[in-house]
A = this chain, B = another copy of it.
Amino acid sequence: MSILESPLTRKLSTFVALGDGDLETLARFHRRRRSFLPGHEMIHEGQKEPSVFILAKGWACSYKLLPDGERQIVDFQIPGDFLGLRSALLRTTDHSVEAITPIEASEVLASDIFEAFARAPRLATAILWAASRDEAVVVEHLVDIGRRTAEERTAHFLLELGARMELVGLGDRTGFDCPLTQYHLADALGLSAVHVNRVLRTLRDDGLLTFQKGRVTFDDFSRLTALAGFDTSYLDQDGPLLR
């Protein structure tokens, strides 16, 4: 896949129109190609020298484990996302990352990123923007768990995920392909797997959303966004915010 059509380039381009120099610097990130099988722990909590990856294909999830063995999934990573960027900056790994599907990724050298900051300010801004966007996703997730009911929370979370998939051309408002199990969803939403199952069933029975056979289908987008209190204004913007 050419750098020009990589999901990351696509994502960054919605924010800023990248120049040739930026693209060249970005291309240099993709030196070491790596593949991982489902279940592989790509990054371990506590790891020294944290690795950074750019996801080209497949899904991963970042999570933390509690002493009692419970797991909280903090975020899912989809094509175009960075893995371990925060850990690299903090020089300490505060979470683990696991491959959910077979994965294709580029392992990036932290030094390449810092170099990019020095010599390709436009690209640096774009990366910062992407990092901020990730943080905004986590914040929305926090609100989901803190203040929404199981149903709102599930609906809202899947809509958010759909919006992210759409941003890299892997989905639209009818739905998206989704390799997650109900267990993943439970660990992400702070619910039990049993309850996630019931919630998904009622959402389906109400004709709002179907989560089945590797696909999430938004059966009634407008009623769904209303139920979830989901802000659809992201659908309005077209073209880079910054030229």
Report which A residues bind B (CB closer than 8 A).
64, 66-67, 70-72, 74, 86, 89-91, 94-95, 114, 117-118, 121, 124-125, 128-129, 131-136, 138-139, 141-143, 145-148, 189-190, 229, 241-242
- Complex Cα spacing A128 to B87, Å: 12
- Complex Cα spacing A142 to B188, Å: 10
Interface CB pairs A-B, < 8 A, 6: A66-B143, A71-B147, A72-B146, A90-B133, A131-B135, A141-B142
Question: Given contacts A66-B147, A145-B190, are A139 and B138 in contact (CB under 8 A)?
Answer: yes
Q: Which residues of B contact A146 (CB under 8 A)?
A: 72, 145, 189-190
Of B64, B67, B71, B117, which one neighbours A124 at CB under 8 angstroms? B117
Smallest Cβ distance from A103 to chain B, in angstroms? Answer: 22
Total identical chains: 2
Q: Which residues of B contact A141 (CB under 8 A)?
A: 142
Residue from the set A66, A121, A147 with the largest chain B CB neighbour count within 10 Å: A147
Smallest Cβ distance from A24 to chain B, in angstroms? Answer: 19
Question: Given contacts A89-B128, A90-B129, A229-B67, are A72 and B135 in contact (CB under 8 A)?
Answer: no
Q: Which residues of B contact A132 (CB under 8 A)?
A: 86, 89-90
Smallest Cβ distance from A99 to chain B, in angstroms? Answer: 20
Q: A64-B143, A74-B142, A94-B136 are in contact. List 16 more A-B contacts (CB 8 A).
A: A66-B143, A67-B229, A74-B139, A86-B136, A89-B129, A94-B139, A95-B139, A117-B121, A117-B124, A117-B125, A131-B135, A135-B138, A141-B142, A142-B142, A142-B145, A147-B190
